[in-house]
A and B are shown apart, each in its own frame.
Chain A
Amino acid sequence: MLAWTIYISFLGALVVMLLPSGSVRATRILALFTTVAGFVVSLWGFTEQQSGEIVTIVRLPWVPSLGIEYHLAADGISLTLLLLTGIVAISGVLFSWNIEHRAKEFFAFYLALIGGVYGVFLSFDLLLLFVFYEIAIIPKYFLIAIWGSTRREYAAMKLALYSFVGSAMVLIGLIAAYVTAGAKTMDLMHLAQFPFPVHFQMWAFPLVFVGFGILAGLWPFHTWAPTGHVAAPTAASMLLAGVVMKLGAYGCLRVAMTLFPRGLDAWGFHVLGFGSWRDVFALLAVTGIVYGAMVALVQKDFKFVIGYSSVSHMGFVLLGLMTLQQIGLDGAVLQMFSHGVLAGLLFAVVGRMVYDRTHTRDLSELETMHLSKVIPFAAATFVLGGMASIGLPGFSGFVAELQVLIGSWHAFPLFAVVAGLGIVIGIAYTWRAMQKAFFGTSDRIPVSTTPSLPAISVPERIGAIILIISSVVVGLYPQLLLRIIVPALHSPLFDGLWKGRGR
């Protein structure tokens, strides 16, 4: 049944493409219907599954001579991210209600991207996962290059090439693993149990981890993210930051860390104080947290602030993964959900509510516009979203980042402190952006002369409310997701990871 999330999305893309070109309205409604259907299916799967253990959905031979299967399954982590995809996809459609230019193609690419994302989260055959992972690259390129803004063609190409280089690294690792195991199978469960030689894991792990990490905004390979997010049309930035970056983090956890757990072991020698890949990646994650936050602090463009904040928040996910502590990993998965929802919300405010009305994202220009009076709903939404993303208790960001911090306190005390510093800088840049964009105190121009802007439309309101509610619900009752995430992390798939914990 959960497999229908994929089929519905691709079918939707196909039907949208075949609609007569005049019917923009029908296209939108169809796209909305498709995403809602996808969400309903994943919600059904979420309520249906109590334990969070791996449940196979479909398992058919695909290329029998090579042992490749069409194997879809779901565990707690997949379900959490499916829910996230459903939520962000629906609000993305709602926030692109004003797309008129080549709307048919826009929604076709949009739905194809969603289909690919659902596919990645459900695949338990590595080749299948890789197939869906790459399917998601191409629509992103077109969404940005055709409907984007600032330097869109450059940003789109950069994003596509970064993603493709990452996936090339993953492909090398996967083929090498497939051949080394020699069992003619690409089944994740099977390969995760295969004892790959340690020296093999030592180069394959960083290769695959970085390959996926590029898409997760791993510093210093994050540079595609801010430019891509800024150039993308609103719905695409929501998906990019909300879901696509999670594909990378998900791949790191699901593929790199389960296939090559020994790659996290100590090297047995020290270089510049680093004793294992785990130290190296934890440092990169922390650097990403602080660097992203500091760069966000000095941006002039409103959207770049959010773009760099994504790098910073994704750093928490990667740091959580590297703790190898139960609580840290829980936090990482929860942070994927939380950041997905919140980044979607913030990009929606900046891209749709503000930029589409004012046609500027320059903070110093926005400062003169008294936006909190002109579009109060946008201001209120941004305040809520901003508070949630800096980790105010009661929102999802708090539970997630707190767990990551606790986990990393056990594993890397120093990094935990630095990451805490990152949170403080996070408060500063969010505050600064909020102040400048909405509560500008320029006395030179009186309120009455600011041009009146179109009111916030109903779809925008609904979309914003959906995202805020999701964040609050998870923030108040994280057990909702944790009840399936925790058992999922204890499935046999992660055995290798836990066994090596003595390191």
Chain B
Amino acid sequence: MTTINFLSLLHLVSPEVIVVVAALCVLSVDLMFLRTSETRLRGAIGSTLSLAGCATAVIWILHTPQSANVLDGMLVLNPLAQRMQIALLILSMLTVLIFIESTFTENVSEYLSLLLLATVSMMFLVSTQNLLLIFLSLELLSLSLYILTAFNKRSIRSAESALKYFIFGGISAAFLLFGASLLYGLSSSTNLASIAGSVHGPVLDPLLIVAIVMTLVGLGFKVAAAPFHFWAPDVYQGAPAPSAALIASGSKVAGFFIFYQVMVVGLAGAEGSGVWHGYASGWVPIVAIVASLSMVLGNLVAILQTSVRRLLAYSAIAHAGYMLLGIVSHTDESFRALLYYAITYALTVLGAFGVVAVVEEETGGDTFLDFAGLSRRAPVPSFCMLIFMLSLAGIPPLAGFFGKFYLFSSVLTSTPGTLGLLWLVVLAIALSAVSLYYYLKILKYIYVTKSSEGAAPIRVSALRQAALCLIALGVVLLGCAPNLLLRWL
């Protein structure tokens, strides 16, 4: 095991430290100076501090490129990990922008500091290859998210969904821990790379299969893949919009990153194969089954929804299914495709929740009827929603389309010479044709249906509009010029 002194460790984790300091600053400034100020002001100052903290961390990362693998894989820094940290920080900043003018809580500083702590845990999650730290950061992330979900104290839904989230999360954490302990037992190491060294063999150890399944349950919960998705619809519906946005975006990106790392780095040699007529046992066929289940279930159940948030939840399950294909094919190319997909998906869904927040504050609900005639009441958010929904459906030239194209072609390329994984790609493309139906249904209410009598134009603050436009612009830009992001991954 490599040793490292605290000062250089501090240097390596300084972006995380900056964000933690920012979280503490937000708390203390609010508690010390702003006790008597009105909520709006406290929200503005707290958000500015959080944004500043994240921005500082981004700048720090940009200026100090690191490359390290210390403490038995506890901290693995390389250009990719650092870029993922930047992406996660940007997603968190956008979440803060969506939060700024929310009115669901008076405890703004607590909310923001929890959000920042969740960001820290996501940053650790993408820069580690050690089961112990993976588990710790997953738990820190989950705990922050449970509280963020329950934050709307006026809504019973919020409390209910948080409790469900907590119970499901607790159970799946237990599964993950059990799987991790088995892996440790098999390899007497928690470092993913050394685990890989001791698990491969011509025949899979039955214990290893149990470990794989257990780990999959834990990670599948995190990315809301079927059949571990039951928390998602309730949480997406009950949580305050910015919390739901964070769960759907940043936490998803980090979750998929670590899913890939655990499977591909940690279980290298136990892949097996999911090729049509070429099945071999390992983790690939299991992930392929989970992926197909998620795609089918997510897309079909989404058709029946009448609440936009629940619809987004089921569409998230479907998208998790698509992204799992990137893990099934486990090549470098498909990893890049997966990350591109995850980041653009996160951006899109973040924007969608921003629009949901706008509508909810005006109408108090998120059913289709609350969106009726929105294009005449709030043209800019409606147009942004148009872009987000079409991107989720995979219509070019938006980011969602290119993500799908890149991901699916990389999946097919992973079995050179044969089109062995074509069955998964056909399933995915066929179901994404289904998905257009329900995305168009939302747009139909926004653009086609007449609004109820006497519905006045919605006043949306300039800041919110700017944030939404920024995200929409990002979605369009990344779709038209995917190179901007690809070059960087």
| Residue ID in chain B nearest A144 by CB atoms | B448
Could you tell me the distance between the alpha carbons of A130 and B408 in the complex, rounded to whole angstroms?
15
Asked whether, in the complex, the Cβ of B432 is within 8 Å of the Cβ of A179, the reply is no
The answer to whether B396 and A160 have CB atoms under 8 Å apart is no
Select the stretch in A23-31, A169-177, A451-459 that faces chain B.
A169-177
Given A66-B406, A135-B397, A146-B447, A168-B483 contact (CB < 8 Å):
no
Interface residues of B in 440-483 (CB under 8 A from A): 440, 443-444, 447-448, 482-483
Tell me if A164 counts as interface (CB < 8 A to partner B): yes
B390 within 8 A of A: yes
**How far apart sit A135 and B387, CA to CA, in the bound complex (Å)?**
12
The CA of A65 and the CA of B483, in the complex, are separated in Å by 8
Q: How far is the CA of A257 from the CA of B310 in the complex (A)?
A: 43
The chain A residue sitting closest to B395, CB to CB, is A134
Return chain A residues, CB-CB under 8 Å to B314. Answer: none
Most chain A C-beta atoms within 10 Å of own C-beta, residue among B416, B444, B487: B444
- How many interface residues does A have (CB within 8 Å)? 33
Is there an interface contact between A130 and B448, defined as CB atoms closer than 8 Å?
Answer: no
Nearest A residue (CB) for B408 = A175
Q: Give the distance to chain A from B454, nearest Cβ to Cβ, in Å.
A: 19
With A153-B448, A161-B437 known to touch, is A176 a contact of B429 (CB < 8 Å)?
no
Asked if residues A131 and B412 are in contact (CB atoms below 8 Å), the reply is no
Bound Cα distance A131, B482 (Å): 13
Chain B 357-396 per-residue mask, 1 if CB under 8 angstroms from chain A, else 0: 0000000000000000001000000000000001000011
Judge whether B483 and A63 touch: CB under 8 Å: yes
Residue interface bits B414-431, CB-to-A below 8 A is 1, else 0: 001001001001100110
Instruction: Contact check, A168 vs B412: say whether CB atoms are below 8 A apart.
Output: no
Of B406, B432, B440, which contacts A141 at CB under 8 A?
A: B440
Q: Which residues of A contact B425 (CB under 8 A)?
A: 172, 175
Q: How long is the Cα–Cα vector from A137 to B419 in the complex, in angstroms?
A: 29
CB neighbours (8 Å) of A180 from chain B are 419
In the assembled complex, A22 has its CB within 8 A of some CB on chain B: no
User: Which residue from A146, A157, A175 sits with its C-beta under 8 Å from B405?
Assistant: A175
Instruction: Evaluate whether A64 and B429 lie within 8 angstroms (CB atoms) in the complex, with A179-B409, A179-B412 already known.
Output: no
| Contact of A145 with B448 in the complex, beta carbons under 8 Å | yes
Check B444 against A179 for contact (C-beta < 8 Å): no
Chain A hits for B406, CB < 8 A: 66
Is B18 interfacial (CB-CB < 8 Å)? no
Q: Is B29 an interface residue (CB 8 A)?
A: no
Q: Are B436 and A160 in contact (CB under 8 A)?
A: yes
Q: Which residues of A contact B429 (CB under 8 A)?
A: 168, 171-172
Minimum distance in angstroms from A31 CB to a CB of chain B: 19
Q: Which of B375, B436, B443 is the one whose CB lies under 8 Å from A161? A: B436
For B111, the chain A residues whose CB sits under 8 A away are: none
Q: Which residues of A contact B444 (CB under 8 A)?
A: 145, 153, 157
* Distance, CA A425 to CA B426, complexed state (A): 41
- Distance, CA A179 to CA B422, complexed state (A): 11
Q: A145-B448, A157-B440, A176-B419 are in contact. Are A134 and B483 (CB under 8 A)?
A: no
Residue A37 interfacial (CB < 8 Å) = no
CB distance from A214 to the nearest CB of B (A): 11
Least Cβ–Cβ distance between A121 and chain B, in angstroms: 17
Report chain A residues within 8 Å CB of B66: none
Give the nearest-CB partner of B406 in chain A: A66
Chain B residues with CB under 8 Å of A145's CB are: 444, 447-448
Shortest C-beta distance, B320 to chain A (Å), equals: 20
Structural contact, A164 and B412, CB atoms closer than 8 A? no
CB distance from B292 to the nearest CB of A (A): 16
Residues of B within 8 A of A160 (CB): 436, 440
Does any Cβ of A come within 8 Å of B413's Cβ?
yes
- Decide if B486 is an interface residue (CB 8 Å cutoff): yes
Residue A302 CB within 8 A of the other chain: no
Q: Could you tell me the distance in whole angstroms from the C-beta of B483 to the nearest C-beta in chain A? A: 6
Interface centre among A105, A172, A180, by most chain B C-beta atoms within 10 angstroms, is: A172
The interface bits of chain A over 93-136 (1 if a CB of B lies within 8 angstroms of the residue's CB, else 0) are: 00000000000010000000000000000000001001100110
User: Is A182 part of the contact surface with B, judged by Cβ < 8 Å?
Assistant: yes
A179 and B430 contact, CB distance less than 8 A: no
A172 near B396 (CB under 8 angstroms)? Answer: no
Q: B433 on the interface (CB 8 Å rule)?
A: yes
Contact B390 A138, beta carbon cutoff 8 Å: yes
Residues of B within 8 A of A161 (CB): 433, 436-437
Residues of A within 8 A of B483 (CB): 62-65
The answer to the question of A142 belonging to the interface, with a C-beta cut-off of 8 Å to chain B, is yes
Interface status of B401 (Cβ within 8 A of chain A): yes
Are B405 and A138 closer than 8 Å at their CB atoms?
Answer: no
Cβ-based interface call for A165 (8 A): yes
Residue from the list B412, B447, B487 in contact with A175, Cβ < 8 A? B412
Closest to A175 in B: B409
Contact with A along B292-331 (1 / 0, CB 8 A): 0000000000000000000000000000000000000000
Q: Separation in Å of the B377 CB from the closest CB of chain A?
A: 13
Bound form: Cα–Cα A179–B443 in Å: 34
| Complex alpha-carbon distance, A165 and B432, angstroms | 9
Q: Nearest 5 A-B pairs (CB), nearest first?
A: A131-B396, A168-B433, A179-B412, A145-B448, A164-B436
**Can you list 11 A-B contacts with CB-CB less than 8 angstroms, sorted by A residue number?**
A135-B396, A157-B440, A160-B440, A171-B405, A172-B426, A175-B408, A176-B412, A176-B419, A179-B412, A182-B413, A182-B416
Beyond known contacts A134-B401, A138-B390: 6 more, CB 8 A cutoff: A65-B487, A66-B406, A157-B440, A168-B432, A175-B425, A176-B422
Chain A contact residues, CB within 8 Å of chain B: 62-66, 105, 127, 130-131, 134-135, 137-138, 141-142, 145-146, 153, 157, 160-161, 164-165, 167-168, 171-172, 175-176, 178-180, 182
